[in-house]
Amino acid sequence: MNHLASEHRYESMQYNRCGRSGLKLPAISLGLWHNFGSVDNYENCKSILLNAFDSGITHFDLANNYGPEPGTAEENFGKVLHHHLRSYRDEMIVSTKAGYYMWKGPYGEWGSKKYLVASLDQSLKRMGIEYVDIFYHHRPDPNTPLEETMGALDLMVRQGKALYVGLSNYSAEQTRQASQILKQLGTPCLIHQPRYSMFDRWVEDGLLDVLEEEGVGCIAFSPLAQGLLTDRYLKNIPEDSRMARGEFLKKENLSEERFNIIRKLNDFAKGRGQSLAQMALSWLLKDARITSVLIGASSVMQLQNNLDCLDNVVFAPDELQQIEMILKGG
């Protein structure tokens, strides 16, 4: 049964132009890295996706290996799209990626044309769509010429399988080189997706400057540092957390010093009338070079709580100074 979307879905979301392109993305995008695979509850997946769309989130970010099992996030997204959101496809930005391991043998990962073409074809079949709006190379390949990888991205656009292309996890210099190759091919790089949060600021050492110079947008992933920038770790390590399970987040990431910083940031956020997670998301959006921030969600409630960050995205200069002091251990 096709979902009847909220008539007010565009009223509370902020949309930002992506680099120097004509495309606008929502300030908050939904990532399907976790919670949307075959091991997860499908009805919960569906509820999150429909509520996201009703809240003005038009951009849904996937990758070939998202699950678990790899590929099943795309399958579940395609199922929801086909049964509930099919009539709204032209209001949606669907992105996927390829670069990490997907299948056995020499053509199942990295950046060859062979792998990228095959991977996107598989992704389109899993989602049941004719094209993606954005196709990313997920990580740089040290053993494939950049010209080949960028040529494959250009080919995807010329074949009508993608409207735009992007990069993820590329360094500042790699991004500059890739962007210039893509410009020469006639398919400019739309967007870069780096890891970026209050606790992980490598993009400030050159990448954001390159993106601005090249006219490329930026969407930050892991904006909450895998949950560290939430109230989950204020007292201890929850048994059901990623850290307790040893998934992507290690216990050594949470020293006593880091605990104290999280507590102080939480208190500061309360003074702004925000949760720690809301402030961490707002803090990223203060930079005009950040087109969108990519959030995950395990429930509709968590999704809505994070979306409330848009109610307060302005920081006074003294607030930013205080946050810097806290982050430096002061």
Structure-block tokens of residue 189: 């790089």
Q: Are 164 and 153 within 8 A, CB to CB?
A: no
Q: Quote the distance between the C-alpha of residue 25 and its chain's center.
A: 12
Residue 149's φ and ψ, nearest 5 degrees, are -65, -45
- Return d(Cα 173, Cα 171) in angstroms, integer: 6
Structure-block tokens of residue 170: 């590329």
- Return d(Cα 24, Cα 9) in angstroms, integer: 15
Residue with the two structure tokens 């669907």: 94
- Return d(Cα 70, Cα 163) in angstroms, integer: 24
Give the predicted TM-score (pTM) of the model.
0.94
Q: Are 285 and 320 within 8 A, CB to CB?
A: no
Q: What is the pLDDT of residue 246?
A: 58
Q: What is the pLDDT of residue 329?
A: 86
Q: What is the pLDDT of residue 78?
A: 98
- For the chain, which residues score pLDDT lower than 70? 235-253
Q: What are the structural domains, with CATH classification, of the chain?
A: 15-234+276-316 (3.20.20.100)
Q: What is the pLDDT of residue 255?
A: 84
Q: Are 234 and 263 within 8 A, CB to CB?
A: yes
Structure-block tokens of residue 133: 């709006």
- Return d(Cα 254, Cα 262) in angstroms, integer: 10
Q: What is the pLDDT of residue 248?
A: 58
- Return d(Cα 274, Cα 231) in angstroms, integer: 11
- Return d(Cα 267, Cα 258) in angstroms, integer: 14
Q: What is the pLDDT of residue 233?
A: 78
Residue 33's φ and ψ, nearest 5 degrees, are -60, -45
Q: In b/e form, how buried is each residue of 104-130, taking b as 16+ CB within 10 angstroms?
A: eeebebbbbbebbbbbbebbbebbebe
pLDDT in tens, 113-129: 999 999 999 999 999 99
Q: Is 230 strand, coil or helix?
A: coil
Q: What is the pLDDT of residue 245?
A: 53
Q: What is the DSSP letter of 84?
A: I
Q: What is the pLDDT of residue 229?
A: 96
Sign, Cα dihedral of 141, 142, 144, 150: positive
pLDDT in tens, 301-314: 999 999 999 999 99
